[in-house]
Chains A and B, each alone.
Chain A
Amino acid sequence: MNTNWGPSTDVQDPALGTTIMAVAFDGGVVMGADSRTSTGTYVWNRVSDKITSVGDKIFVCRSGSAADTQAVVDVIRLYLQMHSLEIGKQPEVPTAANLLNQVCYSNKDNLMAGMICAGWDERNGGKVFSVPLGGGVFPHPFVIGGSGSGYIYGYVDSNFREGMSKAECQQFVKNAVSLAMWRDGSSGGVIRMVTITKDGVEKEMVSGQNLPHLAKGWCP
């Protein structure tokens, strides 16, 4: 969206340029994202948290317009909480993904939000759903999204295997996001990771020297 007023012409709405992804494994999910929020060429927040909770064990990765995705996630959180009270138990991941779709699809003309909804619930275990720009709900073993994802399709397609362990998934996510941050100008900062299992939620931040530097073979 280009509100083209004022002296500088490249001022835009804060956008999550972004690399986001989520991977399901037996017993939970691993979600990862970069931390760059930019307005045009200016990095507005270099340590943003793009993985937002909508329930105790359900999180959403946000990409697109920062304002739009925050508004959408706030609505989902509200409806999911009320729903959880009504049914008397923890909400399920497909339900959250469905609610996300209802909002994104009905308001598709006014929103720019590409989301990945993932989490753990008792009936389904670890589940990952993608709710892209126009709406729709698509379950996958893993999903990548955001502008940086284009640079890593090769990597994820050749390296993903079914039946990876939690640790392997975490390494897979770290590698993928760091490769995207390496090439995509709109992605950068630190890697934020959230691992959700029936035992709880682990949050991790990988920054600076700890970032896997897979290009080190040819580039210092």
Chain B
Amino acid sequence: ENSGTAVGIKCTDGIVVAVGKSQASKMLVAGSNRRVFGVDAHTGIAVTGYAADGRQVVNRAREEAQSYKDTYGHEIVPSVLNNRLSLFMHYFTMYGSLRPFGASAIIASYDQDLKMPELYMIDPSGSGYRFHACAAGKGSNAANTELEKLLNRCGDEGITTKDAVKELGRILHIIRDTSKEKPLELEMGWLCAESGFKHALVPKALVAEADEAGKAALAGATIAAAGGGGNGGGATTTTSTAAAEEKSAMEVEE
């Protein structure tokens, strides 16, 4: 039930969401415990927390999107979906006979005509805000820090969906405590030119690449930590030699 971290990022040419799922048991078939869902052609939702609660939220989102389309004849505007879903989740916080949803929802949507990616996140209280990048779930604090660093690196140019896939995979790996947690399974969804601007799961090959990149980054990070310590030690040696040399140089000058 503590179903791992979900992250989402707004890209220049689309939008990407990813969920890092802990493989609770080797008996589970990979890809069966879905966390990323399509809501309408142009929108997807990633959920964290209680999976069952998350699924109910997604169901409601699908109903809202459908009824909107029936009434107005076009796909639901992301800000409206955010509003409807927030109202829905908030409702359950108002009455003692109901319990709040134990899930957060990250809504990802891309308007291909107006070239507008929109990312929203709604927490169990029903507050939905619009983000450049967001994270929810167990490792959300660490993920948010990494996402901020990533956005700073990208600056005004932003990031492409292809790069974002790799970066999100990397982030989901490095924020984990590998000694304590079960192996990670990545599930990613995106909206971009390659998916025909429809919400789709990222192709397995790209997810695998991101997974490898993530594992490599994790390995690299651990080596760097050890190397840093070693270098630090080495550095002190060098400076003392330099100091000795300087002293001897000075001695010579004298």
Contact = CB atoms under 8 A, between A and B. Distances in A.
B205 interface: no
A58 to B, nearest CB: 13
A68 interface: no
Interface string A92-126: 10110111011000000000000000000011000
A92 B74 contact: yes
Contacts of B80: 86-87
A83 B73 contact: no
Chain B interface residue count: which class?
A: 10 to 19
B114 A83 contact: no
A88 interface: yes
B114 A99 contact: no
The CB with the most chain B CB atoms within 10 A, among A86, A92, A102, A137, is that of: A86
Interface string B49-91: 0000000000000000000000111100101100100000000
A122 B250 CA distance: 77
B254 interface: no
A98 B69 CA distance: 10
Contacts, number: 29
Interface residues of A, number: 15
A94 B73 CA distance: 7
A127 B121 CA distance: 35
Given A86-B80, A87-B77, A87-B79, A95 B72 contact: yes
B113 interface: yes
Interface in B163-184: none
Nearest to A87: B77
Q: Kindly list the 3 A-B residue pairs having the minimum CB-CB distance in the complex, ordered from nearest.
A: A98-B73, A87-B77, A123-B113
Interface of A: 83, 86-88, 92, 94-95, 97-99, 101-102, 122-123, 137
13 contacts: A86-B77, A86-B83, A87-B77, A87-B80, A94-B74, A95-B73, A98-B71, A98-B74, A99-B71, A99-B72, A102-B71, A122-B114, A123-B113
Interface of B: 71-74, 77, 79-80, 83, 113-114
Given A87-B77, A94-B73, A98-B71, 18 more contacts: A83-B72, A87-B79, A87-B80, A88-B77, A94-B74, A95-B72, A95-B73, A95-B74, A97-B73, A98-B72, A98-B74, A99-B71, A99-B72, A99-B73, A101-B73, A102-B71, A122-B114, A123-B113
